[in-house]
């Protein structure tokens, strides 16, 4: 679930999106990322068409991560109307923290 996004597709899929977007920066070697992934996908599923989930594999998009100032994983960004409204990161993130960020932009 969710769409794979790269530096080349970020503007089209995230910045120009008509609905809020939760952007998940993750890596295949990141234990906390992999632990959160099923919960994040379930969360996005509950919001249906009111939220888009975009995933960025940091191991394949290193330059893009640097450009976005994503220096640690996991990192989650929320975009609405083309603007980054919030960002949280860290090994100890919980799904509740991520959901609170989503609720703030989806109403």
Q: Which residues carry out catalysis?
A: 30, 33
CB atoms within 10 A of CB 66: 11
Residue 7 in tokens:
């530096």
Q: Specify which residues 89 forms β-bridges with.
A: 75
Residues 6+ apart with CB under 8 A from 28: 34, 57, 59
């Amino acid at each position: 679930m969710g769409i794979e996004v790269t530096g080349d597709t970020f503007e089209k899929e995230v910045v120009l999106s008509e609905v809020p977007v939760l952007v998940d920066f993750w890596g295949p070697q990141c234990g906390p990322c992999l632990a959160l992934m099923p919960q994040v996908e379930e969360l996005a599923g509950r919001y249906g068409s009111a939220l888009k989930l975009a995933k960025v594999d940091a191991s394949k998009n290193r330059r893009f991560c640097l450009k976005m100032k994503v220096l640690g994983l996991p990192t989650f960004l929320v975009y609405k109307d083309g603007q980054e409204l919030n960002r949280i990161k860290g090994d100890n993130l919980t799904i509740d923290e991520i959901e609170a960020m989503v609720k703030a932009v989806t109403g």
